[in-house]
Chain A
């Protein structure tokens, strides 16, 4: 009986201990790391560390001691190439071990990580709110990286508010219209139109002469895609009209006098009116609200659609679905849709890497990033990511030659716009996309859409503003 009681007591104790054991981990971790990670005081620190600390999971930053670096990514397309590079790095020395963690919903998961003090050392996610909160390390002085980078990309990596840089973008990405050159040739369309009216006329020509072909395919079940249309077309106009830096400032300061989002003849209402016109005329796919990215790729490679809007990341899925498309893919800027404006094409920073401001392993992070940014590694990286390098000394075959020349021509012939990182934290691109879904579903008139968009934008800005009080 006594033995049974003792066993029961032991089990209860073990379970209680086991249950609560995981609760204190995060809080203890920085304490263990903090003793060991300041590179300047390495020698003195090393003498004071005990064996337990040396064996701690995060390790020691002292030279000769083991250091574990956590790299957090949301970029599914680069998981394998990053694993390859990380493996080479880990083998190249025995002091630093890098581990990659991928999360599909990385931009949200990182918020949980910041809130629970489980911040990775290096991350690919980047948000203005975290910049404002000083969550990223200032890497403005990493001249060995910046000297190799194109000036445009360096500028794109620079925070407008502080003028400092908190991330390195290894690649550039472009977005515009991908079109089927074969269909265009058959219809005698020699040049992609630069003005909206001509663009609509071209879509009508496709509709009339090839009734089985959808002139412009929009996969509107995926809110991010519709969000991108807003980002590239009306936001693109704002950026081309005001200039990149002024547009960024206007967005950060929510200067509606400059942005004119709510105006009935402003960029939002005109854009919404244009989209409704295309829908009413049957120039976009009927199943816009339920169509997916896969549907778009399938229809494009099978010749059932003439064009779609997307970024360079779409090339790999198109070529995977049909390698013969290699010579048939055309690329063009978004036509000018406001009076006096110019065609625009996205030419933005991509694949950014930031270091946590609270990492205990700054030197180790930089050492790894030096390795990652080596030209031979970046070449591999670009070819997998299907995006040109942001580094001037990296030459990579990131897309078929025909596509590369199409993209170069588009970049030369249009205003190059960057990506908006200065959006309100409470109003994401997906939120904007869902509003556009509402427009296509008949929920708004173009004017109502512009007002609703402005309200949502102001609301997102307002919540951020309130928190700063």
Chain B
């Protein structure tokens, strides 16, 4: 009877497995196969061994894109966590209009990043955007620079827009973690003479461990694979200066280097995997300690 039950249960998992197989396992295996070929999307593919991977490390544009992607992640992932946590702490306290504030913070996260990028583009456009006219109205148009016209400021703008958009998402996870911490612990800490900072450092942060882990990991993954916000704000420009690895993969894929683009996608997967695995291991180790 037990074995019949297991058989039925296994069978009922078939639809889910079929979906997983069709939309994940098959493309993954197909992709792994393609990364060893010179397929250009038009002609027949030929096996080229590891040439695509070797070419990647000699490709200056790709290496520059890695630098941009990593710099973006180093700016975006920590800021998202800090801003998200600050928002969550605020939302966990009592004040009037909390629901409206929470909605305002979370709303950008549900708008398409592509649309968000275009909105910010028209806000920030030099000489024409809303912010330029605002500063012009104040009599100081010179305060507004061509922030999307050079590498450093364009990258900073992309980081800030990304943080502004997704901090709400991070906040929700932190807020759920904060609401799971018993008030008694803070009460006990206060009786022992702990200040707010002590309570935060010795009660809140340790008990937020699982939330921090989820947020750090998802933010690293999201930041390393960033695409749409960059595409809509700068298009990877000027030139290729703010191009990220995801944009590079897309452009190579449609630029008659499909096999190579799959190899770069696998390299991106490994680039994402390393910090995610490291941070996950570090945080788990700290929690165990």
Using A287-B125, A437-B237 as known contacts, say yes or no to A431 and B11 having CB atoms under 8 A apart: no
The answer to whether B11 and A130 touch across the interface, beta carbons within 8 angstroms, is no
The answer to whether B38 and A467 touch across the interface, beta carbons within 8 angstroms, is yes
By a CB distance below 8 angstroms, the chain B residues around A439 are 239
Q: Once bound together, how far apart are the Cα atoms of A23 and B14, in whole Å?
A: 16
The answer to whether A20 and B22 touch across the interface, beta carbons within 8 angstroms, is yes
The answer to whether A19 and B22 touch across the interface, beta carbons within 8 angstroms, is yes
Q: Once bound together, how far apart are the Cα atoms of A331 and B240, in whole Å?
A: 33
Q: Which of B231-245 contact A (CB under 8 A)?
A: 235-241
Known pairs A9-B8, A19-B22; list 7 more (Cβ under 8 Å): A5-B8, A221-B237, A286-B126, A290-B126, A426-B256, A426-B257, A460-B256
Residue in A111, A129, A295 whose beta carbon sits within 8 Å of that of B128 in the complex: A295
Using A290-B125, A290-B126, A467-B43 as known contacts, say yes or no to A435 and B239 having CB atoms under 8 A apart: yes
The answer to whether A289 and B40 touch across the interface, beta carbons within 8 angstroms, is no
4 closest residue pairs by CB, A with B:
A438-B239, A15-B15, A441-B238, A425-B256
By a CB distance below 8 angstroms, the chain A residues around B146 are 286-287, 289-290
Q: Once bound together, how far apart are the Cα atoms of A434 and B42, in whole Å?
A: 24
A to B CB contacts below 8 Å, 24 in the list:
A8-B8, A9-B8, A12-B12, A15-B14, A19-B19, A108-B254, A111-B42, A114-B42, A129-B42, A132-B43, A223-B237, A286-B146, A289-B237, A290-B125, A425-B256, A426-B40, A426-B257, A427-B255, A434-B239, A435-B239, A437-B238, A437-B239, A441-B150, A469-B46
The answer to whether A12 and B11 touch across the interface, beta carbons within 8 angstroms, is yes
Q: Which of A104-161 contact B (CB under 8 A)?
A: 108, 111, 114-115, 127, 129-130, 132-133, 135
What is the number of residues of chain A that contact chain B, defined by CB distance less than 8 Å? 47
Using A441-B150, A441-B239, A464-B40 as known contacts, say yes or no to A20 and B18 having CB atoms under 8 A apart: yes
Task: Give the shortest distance, in Å, between B230 (CB) and chain A (any CB).
Answer: 13
User: A443 within 8 Å of B by Cβ?
Assistant: yes
Q: Which of A388-425 contact B (CB under 8 A)?
A: 425
Residue of B nearest to A456 (CB): B61
Using A129-B40, A434-B236 as known contacts, say yes or no to A289 and B148 having CB atoms under 8 A apart: yes
By a CB distance below 8 angstroms, the chain B residues around A130 are 42
Residue of A nearest to B20 (CB): A19
The answer to whether A467 and B126 touch across the interface, beta carbons within 8 angstroms, is no
Most buried by A among B18, B42, B151, B255: B42
Q: Once bound together, how far apart are the Cα atoms of A433 and B40, in whole Å?
A: 22
Using A16-B15, A19-B15, A289-B237 as known contacts, say yes or no to A463 and B257 having CB atoms under 8 A apart: yes
User: A428 within 8 Å of B by Cβ?
Assistant: yes
Task: Give the shortest distance, in Å, between A445 (CB) and chain B (any CB).
Answer: 14
Q: Once bound together, how far apart are the Cα atoms of A188 and B107, in whole Å?
A: 56
User: B33 within 8 Å of A by Cβ?
Assistant: no
Task: Give the shortest distance, in Å, between A112 (CB) and chain B (any CB).
Answer: 8
Residue of B nearest to A223 (CB): B235
Task: Give the shortest distance, in Å, between A116 (CB) and chain B (any CB).
Answer: 11
User: B27 within 8 Å of A by Cβ?
Assistant: no
Q: Once bound together, how far apart are the Cα atoms of A304 and B228, in whole Å?
A: 33
The answer to whether B238 and A440 touch across the interface, beta carbons within 8 angstroms, is yes
Task: Give the shortest distance, in Å, between A4 (CB) and chain B (any CB).
Answer: 11
Task: Give the shortest distance, in Å, between B194 (CB) and chain A (any CB).
Answer: 51
User: A50 within 8 Å of B by Cβ?
Assistant: no
User: A466 within 8 Å of B by Cβ?
Assistant: yes
Residue of A nearest to B16 (CB): A15
By a CB distance below 8 angstroms, the chain A residues around B49 are none
User: B127 within 8 Å of A by Cβ?
Assistant: yes
By a CB distance below 8 angstroms, the chain B residues around A437 are 237-239
Q: Once bound together, how far apart are the Cα atoms of A16 and B20, in whole Å?
A: 12
Q: Once bound together, how far apart are the Cα atoms of A464 and B43, in whole Å?
A: 9
The answer to whether B236 and A290 touch across the interface, beta carbons within 8 angstroms, is no
Q: Once bound together, how far apart are the Cα atoms of A290 and B146, in whole Å?
A: 8
By a CB distance below 8 angstroms, the chain A residues around B238 are 289, 437-438, 440-441, 443
Task: Give the shortest distance, in Å, between A15 (CB) and chain B (any CB).
Answer: 4
By a CB distance below 8 angstroms, the chain A residues around B206 are none
Q: Which of A179-231 contact B (CB under 8 A)?
A: 221, 223
By a CB distance below 8 angstroms, the chain A residues around B260 are 463
Q: Once bound together, how far apart are the Cα atoms of A464 and B196, in whole Å?
A: 65
Task: Give the shortest distance, in Å, between B150 (CB) and chain A (any CB).
Answer: 7
By a CB distance below 8 angstroms, the chain B residues around A435 are 239
Q: Which of B6-57 contact A (CB under 8 A)?
A: 8, 11-12, 14-15, 18-19, 22, 38, 40-43, 46
Using A8-B12, A426-B256 as known contacts, say yes or no to A23 and B128 having CB atoms under 8 A apart: no
By a CB distance below 8 angstroms, the chain B residues around A464 are 40, 256
By a CB distance below 8 angstroms, the chain A residues around B256 are 129, 425-426, 460, 463-464
- Indicate with 1 or 0, residue by residue over A276-318, a CB within 8 angstroms of chain B CB atoms: 0000000000110110000100000000000000000000000
Q: Once bound together, how far apart are the Cα atoms of A55 and B121, in whole Å?
A: 50
Using A16-B14, A287-B126, A289-B149 as known contacts, say yes or no to A425 and B40 having CB atoms under 8 A apart: yes
The answer to whether B254 and A111 touch across the interface, beta carbons within 8 angstroms, is yes
Q: Which of B131-178 contact A (CB under 8 A)?
A: 146, 148-151
The answer to whether A467 and B240 touch across the interface, beta carbons within 8 angstroms, is no
Q: Once bound together, how far apart are the Cα atoms of A287 and B128, in whole Å?
A: 9
Residue of B nearest to A127 (CB): B42
Task: Give the shortest distance, in Å, between A424 (CB) and chain B (any CB).
Answer: 8
By a CB distance below 8 angstroms, the chain A residues around B125 are 287, 290
The answer to whether A287 and B127 touch across the interface, beta carbons within 8 angstroms, is yes
Q: Once bound together, how far apart are the Cα atoms of A426 and B251, in whole Å?
A: 10
Q: Once bound together, how far apart are the Cα atoms of A115 and B73, in whole Å?
A: 34
